[in-house]
Structure formats: C-alpha cells, structure tokens
C-alpha cells in the first residue's frame, strides 16, 4: 500500500482546520492542543479514534482511515510518558530511547576524536587481517 499524496486543494482544505498547524503533500502536523484533547477524549470518554477525528472536522477519506488510530496510539504513548508537555517539543526520531542515525561527532574534543579514529583504524586492521586469512584459505 502506497503513501498518500495530497493535492494542493486538499492541502488548502486541511489547513483550514484549526487543528492543523502545518500540512504538506506528504504529511499533516497537528496542533498540540488537539493532540491533548484527542488523548483525553479517548482515555476518559472512551471514544474511538475515528469518531474523535470526525468530531474535530477531519474527512477520514481524505486523511486515510488508519491515520486516526495510528496517530492516537503514538500520542497516547507520549502523553503517558511526558504528559501534555510532551507535545510541545519535537520528538520524532527519539522514541523509546532508540538512537537513530550516526553517532554525534559535533562538539567532540580532540582527544575524543583521536580515540574514535584509533578505534576505527583498529577495526579496519582486524577486517583486513580477516580478509587476508580468508584469501589464503581459498588458495590452499
């Protein structure tokens, strides 16, 4: 199943909703107040995710039928861990304590850079030794 792509008209319609702070052809950014309200509606009132989004003025055919459930699942997790404050700060890529991407190299001292490079050189030497042994075994 492919990702949805919004047309310019659909983006304009979504931006008319007060619960949307940004919208592009590929994504919707929801207002933090809406996220808190949606989580409370789900937790306290027991409303289904689709009903919450419909009540907020979203067309489920436009945004996708699984979007409310997926968004609310993520938002409930953030709300349970950090409360309403969790929606005020950008958290993408930082969920569940998993580090993503390359290790940070900005702000390292010269000594830290040397240690990192020495470890890399040692790794490469070990890799070369292993490959040399492997080639020697093939020749035999």
Could you state, in order of their start, the residue ranges of all structural domains in the chain? Answer: 8-97, 102-140
Tell me 65's DSSP state: T
Cα separation, 53 vs 92, whole angstroms = 22
Cα separation, 41 vs 58, whole angstroms = 16
Q: Give which of 10, 29, 11 is closest to 19, Cα–Cα.
A: 29
Q: What is the pLDDT of residues 31-87, one digit of tens each?
A: 999 999 999 999 999 999 999 999 999 999 999 889 999 999 999 998 888 888 888
pTM (whole model) above 0.85? no
pLDDT at 1: 43
User: What separation in angstroms does the CA of 15 have from each of 12, 21, 120?
Assistant: 5, 7, 49
Average pLDDT, whole number, for the chain? 87
pLDDT at 134: 93
Tell me 101's DSSP state: S
């Amino acid at each position: 199943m492919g990702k949805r792509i919004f047309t310019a008209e659909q983006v304009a319609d979504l931006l008319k909703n007060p619960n949307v702070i940004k919208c592009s052809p590929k994504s919707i950014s929801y207002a933090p107040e809406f996220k808190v309200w949606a989580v409370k509606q789900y937790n306290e009132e027991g409303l289904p995710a689709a009903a919450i989004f419909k009540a907020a003025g979203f067309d489920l055919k436009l945004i996708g039928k699984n979007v409310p459930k997926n968004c609310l699942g993520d938002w409930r997790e953030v709300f349970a861990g950090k409360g309403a404050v969790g929606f005020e700060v950008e958290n993408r890529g930082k969920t569940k304590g998993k580090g993503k991407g390359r290790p940070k190299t900005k702000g390292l001292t010269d000594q830290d850079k040397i240690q990192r490079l020495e470890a890399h050189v040692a790794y490469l030497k070990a890799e070369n030794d292993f490959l040399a042994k492997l080639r020697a075994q093939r020749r035999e």
